[in-house]
Chain A
C-alpha cells in the first residue's frame, strides 16, 4: 500500500481546469518531487492534499483511507505536515515558540491542568521541549532559538518553517518550493536536510520545486506537469530526458509551434 495515493484527481476554478485527471502515488520512505512550469498545478496539488481545496473528481488516499472528509486542522493529526511557498510563520513569536506550536497535535493536557500547571503538564512540556531541541540541533537553529521571527532573514525563516513542520513529527512532509529564494549554499543545506529527513528521520517527502539541480540530487521519483496534466513520471533522469517534458519547458523543436509562448 502506498503512503499517499491520488486517483484521477481533477480540480476546476470556474472554467479553468487547474488539475486535470492526475494520478500518482508516493511510497513510504521516498522523496517525490513535482515539477513543471508556473501554473502547472503543482502547488494546487499540495493544497488539495492539505485540504485547502477539495477536488471536483477523484480521491486522495493517505495510508489507504480517503482524506477528503478531513478539515485542514485534521491534516497534521493524520501525520501530514507542510511548508508554504511564501513562508507562513508566527511573526510575533520566537523560533522556539514557533517550533513548540508544531507540537500542538501531541499535547495531551487539558484546560484545567494547563491553568494549574500540574506536574503532568510540566513533564509534558519537557517532552515537547526535548523534541523541539532535537529539531533545532538537526537544522542548526541554535543561534536563533530565542529570536523573534519578525527580525530574521529570509533564509533562516525558510529553515524555521521546515523545522516547525518536522516538530509535528509527520509521516509525510509536504514542501512547497523549499529552495525558492535561497542562495546556492543554503540550497545545498536544504538538499542535505531532505536526505537526512528521509534517511535519519524516516519521513516521506513530497515536494514542489523549480531548482532542477536540487530535484535531481535528492528525489527518488519525479512527476512533471504542465497545464494541470501529467506529462511524465519516473526517475529524475527519465523525466528530464522525456521529450514531452522538454517540449513543455522549451517549446517544440520542429518549429511548427514557434508562434506559441513556451
Chain B
C-alpha cells in the first residue's frame, strides 16, 4: 500500500514535470530555441489563477479563473514570440538562450512584486479531498493531476494528428522552407506554438499549485523538467512526458529508501547516465544529417 501511494504521488509530480518538459520540446522542435523561462511560465500561470480565484485576491470562481489564466498565458506566449523572439531570428542560439533566462528572472521578479514572495496555495475545490480504497488514502488533487495530464495528452495527440494547425506545426518544425511553399504561414505558426506552450505551462502551473504551495521561485522546477526532457529525448513529445514521469517517480522512492537529500540529486544523476549511455534520450527523433 505504501508503494502504491509513492507511485501515485510520484506520477502526479512527474505529470507536472512532463507538462513543463512538453513546453520545452514544443518550442525547441518548431523553432530550435530552448525556452529556459518555461518553468517560470508555469509559475506565472499558477499565480495568475491564484490571483483571480483566491479569497484574499479577486475571489472569482475557480473554473473561470482557470480559463482566464490559460487564455492570458496563451496570449502572452503568442505576443512574446511576435514582439520579442521573432526579432531574434537569425541570431545565434546562445543569444536566444540568454534572452529566455533573463526573461525567467523578469517573470520571477514581477510575480514577486504582484503576489509577494511568500509561498501561497491555490484554493481549488479539490484540495483536501481524499480518495479511500480500504486502507489506501490518495489525495484527490494528485489523482486529478494524473487525469488532467492524460486528457491533455490525448487532446494534444488529436490536435497534432488531425487538425490543419497541428499538421502545419509538425510540417514547419520538420522543414520551414518546404512548409512555406505548401502555404503554411511559418511565422504565425511559431507564435501559435509559443501560445500553445504558454497554455500547457499554465495548466501545469495550476496542477502544481493545487497540490501544494507556490512561490515565485517555483519556476526553477523548470530545470528539473529540462532534465526530464533530455532524458526522454529532446525533440520528442511523448519522450518529454515519459522523461517527466521517470523523474517524478524516482524522487519519492529515492526520498523513501535513500538517505536524506539524495532524492534531489537523482534526476540529474539519471540525466548524466543517460547522456553517457544514450545521448539522444529514450525516444529520440534526432537524425544525423547525411550530406
The chain A residues found within 8 Å of chain B, CB to CB, are 50, 71-77, 81-82, 84, 88-93, 101-102, 104-105, 107, 109-111, 114-115, 117, 121, 150, 164-165, 168
Contact, CB under 8 Å: B174 / A76 = no
Of the candidates A71, A104, A111, A121, the one whose C-beta lies within 8 Å of that of B182 is: A104
Complex Cα spacing A142 to B102, Å: 52
Interface residue? B88 (CB, 8 A)? no
CB-based nearest A residue for B290? A150
Q: How far is the CA of A89 from the CA of B182 in the complex (A)?
A: 11
Which of chain A's residues have a CB closer than 8 A to the CB of B175? 88-91
Most buried by B among A104, A107, A117: A104
B164 touches A109 (CB 8 A): yes
Contact: B158 with A111, CB < 8 Å?
no
Decide if B171 is an interface residue (CB 8 Å cutoff): yes
Residues of B174-196 at the interface with A, using a CB-CB cut-off of 8 Å, are: 174-175, 177-186
Interface contacts beyond A88-B177, A91-B174, A92-B287: sample of 15 additional A-B pairs, CB < 8 Å, sorted by A: A73-B179, A73-B180, A75-B183, A76-B182, A82-B181, A84-B177, A90-B175, A91-B175, A93-B174, A101-B179, A109-B164, A111-B163, A115-B158, A115-B159, A165-B181
Return the chain B residue nearest A72 by Cβ.
B180
Q: Which residues of chain B from 137 to 167 have any CB-CB distance to chain A below 8 Å in the complex?
A: 158-159, 162-167
CB <8 Å contact, B181 and A115: no
Q: Give bound CA distance, A82 to B180, whole Å.
A: 11
Tell me the complex Cα distance, A75–B168, Å.
16
Is B93 interfacial (CB-CB < 8 Å)?
Answer: no
* Chain B interface (Cβ < 8 Å from any Cβ of A): 158-159, 162-168, 170-171, 174-175, 177-186, 285, 287
B161 to chain A minimum Cβ distance, whole angstroms, is 10
Taking CB atoms, residues of chain A closer than 8 Å to B159 are 115
Instruction: Tell me whether B182 and A102 are in contact (CB under 8 A).
Output: yes
Let me know if A101 and B177 touch, CB within 8 A. no
Please judge, given known A-B contacts A111-B163, A114-B163, whether A105 and B183 are in contact too, CB under 8 Å: yes
Please give me the 9 A-B residue pairs with the lowest Cβ-Cβ distance, nearest first.
A114-B163, A105-B183, A76-B183, A72-B180, A88-B178, A90-B174, A73-B185, A104-B182, A88-B177
**Known pairs A88-B175, A92-B285, A115-B159; A50 contacts B181 (CB<8 A):** yes
Once the chains bind, are A89 and B163 in contact (CB under 8 Å)?
A: no
A168 touches B162 (CB 8 A): no
B-side contacts of A77, CB under 8 Å:
183
Nearest CB in chain B to that of A106: its residue: B183
Q: Which of B159, B175, B177 has the most CB of A within 10 A?
A: B175
CB distance from A91 to the nearest CB of B (A): 6
Given known contacts A91-B287, A101-B171, A73 and B163 CB-to-CB distance under 8 angstroms:
no
A84–B176 CA distance with the chains assembled, in angstroms: 13
Q: What residues on A are CB-neighbors of B165 within 8 Å?
A: 111, 114
A102 contact set on B, CB distance < 8 A: 182
Smallest Cβ distance from A87 to chain B, in angstroms? 9
State how many angstroms separate the Cβ of A185 from the closest Cβ of chain B.
Answer: 23
Q: Which of B158, B162, B171 has most chain A Cβ within 10 Å?
A: B162
Report the bound CA distance from A160 to B179 in whole Å.
Answer: 15
A56 to B87 alpha-carbon distance, docked (Å): 23
B175, B177, B181, B285 — most chain A CB neighbours (10 Å): B181
- With A105-B183, A115-B159 as known contacts, state yes or no: A89 contacts B178, CB within 8 Å: yes
Per the bound structure, the CA–CA distance linking A89 and B179 in Å amounts to: 9
Evaluate contact between B181 and A81: CB separation under 8 angstroms: yes
Please, which residue of chain B has its CB at the minimum distance from the CB of A110?
A: B164
Give the nearest-CB partner of B188 in chain A.
A73
Shortest distance in angstroms between B30's beta carbon and chain A's nearest beta carbon? 13
The 8 Å CB contact of B186, one of A73, A84, A110, is A73
Contacts of A101 in B (CB 8 A): 167, 171, 178-179, 182, 184
Chain B residues with CB under 8 Å of A164's CB are 178, 182
- Are B180 and A104 within 8 A (Cβ)? no
Q: Let me know if A104 and B174 touch, CB within 8 A.
A: no
- The answer to whether A90 and B178 touch across the interface, beta carbons within 8 angstroms, is yes
- Chain B contacts of A82 at CB under 8 A? 181
Q: How far is the CA of A168 from the CA of B183 in the complex (A)?
A: 9
